[in-house]
Structure 1
């Protein structure tokens, strides 16, 4: 089956552009297309963005607010809420996605606003980087409490409003939902779960006219590494007691602010496209360069090849290639 693997790679890599797996995958001209006039301000459809204080969430909030939406922007800190409230067409909401009381209060705030809710962007997320045989239960629970249980809690709480509007819900995934890397187990496991969450929810909400999607970014500028590094250094994963002390020290000593990466403009544009396109994409991978897109696609294709070349040998190479072609046609 070696030729099958090579054939699949060649076919899929030749269609990177068609799948949107590159640095220009997200639309860049949405601001001109979706602009509204001043007399339409009161009728702007409402969207809730969680984790809106920085990075992807903040940029998505700004882009949506500038393109016809009223944004309820979730954040946890007073200073962040004040900054969000200063933005036009934005209302900050105190929202910790691990706190059921704050989620319920957010629902009450949106209901009181009288705009309903057309869109929900589950963006809040954290990163735990630690060896799987050493990560504590507390850190693993923290990872899943925010990244997996958070979207479930928030979506469940706002489901009635989304169904009433026939709206749309998208979650920030990651190319790590397809990849696996050393010490990234807790984080990549949570992002793999988001892929399943999105596909399952899409099937369950389709009868109610609610579209569900996931935007999977590559490496963009954010603050997620700052809090991650502080938390994990305090846990002692890089101490002499760890089997991986040297490797973890190198991992945690790097820059936490991710300033070396591009601003997440393409990611925000992908969320805008999901909310405004007539036929929104179920899954959009957005990367700052072709290398990250190719790495992600190769990981997905490798799994297909492993399934197809299993001991049962149920399908021949031509059959598998036809399946791939049909899937590409469907994605287009």
Structure 2
């Protein structure tokens, strides 16, 4: 799995994510299910796909969010908590009954907890892993047969935190590293079925994840105080995640989708993420019996870059 460290370098030669208006977008409507569609990335994905002719099963937990989603054209709102097997069974039944089949699954539902490991409650850790890591597994297990029927797409929403790590985002970073492994393992497992699996790795965009963490943890909790969560929870001045939604649509519509779509709002986040992968590659290589020298490493990089898509900008 750690060969991903070399493969990720192909980002240097890959085209920037953007809308993909292929013939597939104008064909008979394909159905896509989006988890965590109430706000942020999930809402943007739902709005973009439904506007572009997909039929979207948009899932959320709160009645007011379901009402808002249900008002959108080409959208059916479904109640879902990805930690509740009975909710998942009801969603599968609703999708099956509708008779459209299912072309795509976008595993977006996620939460965060903040603070140093020593201050983090185990209940918080377990909740984050249950939603962010186990949730996608539950959804894939439940919906995979429908997606295989249509030779469709599974898109996991990861994060650059699946590459980087923060002292105050231990559980969240762990869960997003798990999404990287899930994506690679599932892609290998489904090879030959016609199903393609991708991970979209957003950087820092506007979302409600910080406010949700603050509400759940409480501003006076030791972990929240240590991470200064009260000051950092409001992300309203961050860039809207429209380009993340565009990358999701690319992964759904391109004939040959990429395995990874890193989508960041600025050059600094791109450089930080790529540099971290290179550092990990060097750390993985050094001091072991079969260490490669610089010439051999550069040859591997050149081979990986040669397989990447040509730049279009």
1:27 to 4, 18, 34: 18
2:86 to 101, 106, 125: 101
**Runs of 5+ in structure 2 lacking a partner?**
none
Distance in 1, Cα, partners of 2:232 & 2:22: 36
- Asked if the contact 2:219–2:229 (Cα under 8 Å) also holds between the matched residues in 1, the reply is no
- Asked if the contact 1:34–1:68 (Cα under 8 Å) also holds between the matched residues in 2, the reply is no
In the alignment, which residue of structure 1 is the partner of 2:43?
A: 58
Distance in 1, Cα, partners of 2:71 & 2:60: 14
Establish whether residue 325 from structure 1 lines up as the match of residue 289 from structure 2. no
- Scaled by the length of structure 2, what TM-score is found? 0.91
Q: Following TM superposition, by how much is the alpha carbon of 1:234 offset from its aligned partner in structure 2, in angstroms? A: 5.8
1:263 to 240, 250, 257: 240
- Scaled by the length of structure 1, what TM-score is found? 0.86
Q: Over aligned residues, Cα RMSD in angstroms?
A: 2.0
- Asked if the contact 1:46–1:71 (Cα under 8 Å) also holds between the matched residues in 2, the reply is yes
Q: Following TM superposition, by how much is the alpha carbon of 1:135 offset from its aligned partner in structure 2, in angstroms? A: 1.5
- Deviation string 1:66-93 (CA, Å, 9 cap, x unpaired) is 1121000011111111111110101101
In the alignment, which residue of structure 1 is the partner of 2:262?
A: 285
In the alignment, which residue of structure 2 is the partner of 1:18?
A: 13
The within-5 A match list for 1:22-101 is 25-28=16-19, 30=20, 36=26, 43-101=28-86
The within-5 A match list for 1:190-205 is 190-205=175-190
Distance in 1, Cα, partners of 2:280 & 2:161: 15
- Asked if the contact 1:166–1:209 (Cα under 8 Å) also holds between the matched residues in 2, the reply is yes
Runs of 4+ aligned residues of structure 1 deviating over 3 Å after TM superposition are 30-36
- Could you say if the C-alpha distance between residues 83 and 32 of structure 1 is closer, same or farther in structure 2, counting changes exceeding 3 Å? farther
Moved more, 99-108 or 206-215: 206-215
1:113 to 95, 98, 116: 98
Q: Which has the larger radius of gyration?
A: 1
Task: Give the number of equivalent residue pairs.
Answer: 303
Distance in 2, Cα, partners of 1:33 & 1:166: 17
